[in-house]
Structure 1
Amino acid sequence: MTATIDYGNLMHRAMRGLIQEVLEDVRDNGLPGEHHFFITFDTQHPDVQIADWLSDRYPGEMTVVMQHWFDNLTVTEEGFAVTLNFGDAPEPLYIPYDAIKTFVDPSVEFGLRFETQESDDDEDDVEELAPVEPIVEDVSEKISESLKDKIEEKLSDTAPGEKKDADVVSLDSFRKT
C-alpha cells in the first residue's frame, strides 16, 4: 500500500478520459455548433507520430486546430489519430493523451492545461505530474488588437435587422465578488 494518494496523476487520468470521451463523440457525431479545439502537444513525446517536416518545424511543442476540416479521426484508450490540413497538404498525426499539454475549446471558453514537473531524484527519471489546472477564462483578452479590429469590422458589416450568429460575453460579468 502506498503512503499517499497520488491526486495529481488521478486527476490527469480523469481529464485525459474526458478528452477521450469528447473526441469519441466528435468522431461519432461531428463537431456541434461552433465548437473547435486547440490542442497543444509535446512533439518529442516518444509515441507521437507526425511527419518529419512537422517535427523539424516544431521541435518542442505544436498546437493543432480541429475545426472546419479534419478526417480519419480514430480514438483509442492511449491517444487519437487524425488527418489535418497543413497548407492544402493533408497530414496524418497520432497524439497520445500523455503528450497533450493543453486542450482548449474557445467556443465555450473551456480548457485544460497539463503541467509536468521533473523529479528531484536524479536516479529516477520518472516525471511527476503537477495538478491539472482547468482553464476557464475570457479568451477575448488574448486576441490581438488587429484581430479584434477585423472581428469588429465583420460585425459592423451586418445589415440592420440581420441576425448575428452570436455575441461574445465575458464570464467576468457573472462572477461573484
Structure 2
Amino acid sequence: MARSIDYGTLMHRAMRGLIQTVLRDVADNGLPGAHHFFITFDTTHPGVAIADWLKARYPSEMTVVIQHWYENLNVDDDGFSITLNFGNQPEPLVIPFDAVRTFVDPSVEFGLRFESHEDDGEDEDEDDGDDDPDPPREAEVVRLDKFRK
C-alpha cells in the first residue's frame, strides 16, 4: 500500500488543538473583551456527560454558549468540563474535543466546523473489518451568517 499524508486528520488535530489552547487560556484568565463562544457538540458521542433532562431535550446535538456566566471550566488533552446555567439551574457538562461539531467566536467572526467522513459517503474503500468508534473528521472554516438570527 502506498504511503500518503493524511491532511484531513492532521487538520483535524490542529483545529482541536486550537480549541484546546483557547479554552485553556479562558480557564486560566477568563474571557477577554467581547469574546464568547458558541460550541455545538454531538450529545451521543462517547464521553459526553450531560444531565438526563438535557440529553432528553437534545438527543443528538446541542449548542452551548460560553459568555456571561460559567464556572469550573477545566480543560485537558481529551476535552473540557464546564458548569453552565440553564434557566437558573447550574449544570455540569463534560465535552470531549472529538464530540465538537462547531466552534464559533462571533466577536471576531471566527468559526470552525468539523464534519465526519461517515457523513459524506465517499469512503468506499474503507476497511470494513476495522470498527473505529471515532472516525476522523475534517475541519473547515465556516461563515458566521449561519449562526446569525
Q: Shorter-chain TM-score: what band?
A: 0.7 to 0.9
Structure with greater strand percent: 2
Shift of 1:110: 0.3
- CA 10–125 in structure 1, closer or farther in 2 if over 3 Å, else same: same
Residue 129 of structure 1: aligned partner: 136
For the aligned residues, what is the CA RMSD? 1.9
Task: Pick the aligned partner of 1:143 from 130, 138, 148.
Answer: 148
| % same residue | 64
Could you tell me which runs of 5 or more consecutive residues in structure 1 were left unpaired when the two chains were aligned.
145-177
- 1:49 and 1:58 map into 2 onto residues whose CA distance is 12
Asked which structure has the greater RCO (Cα within 8 Å, sep 6+), the reply is: 2
Residue 13 of structure 2: aligned partner: 13
CA radius of gyration, larger in? 1
Residue 93 of structure 1: aligned partner: 93
Shift of 1:142: 5.1
Q: TM-score, normalised by structure 1?
A: 0.74
Could you tell me which runs of 5 or more consecutive residues in structure 2 were left unpaired when the two chains were aligned.
none
Shift of 1:92: 0.2
Q: TM-score, normalised by structure 2?
A: 0.87
The question of 1:22 aligning with 2:22 is answered: yes
List structure 1 segments (4+ residues) > 2 angstroms apart after TM superposition: 119-131, 141-144
- 2:148 and 2:19 map into 1 onto residues whose CA distance is 25
Say which SS state the counterpart of residue 32 (structure 1) adopts.
Answer: coil
Residue type at the aligned position of 2:131: D
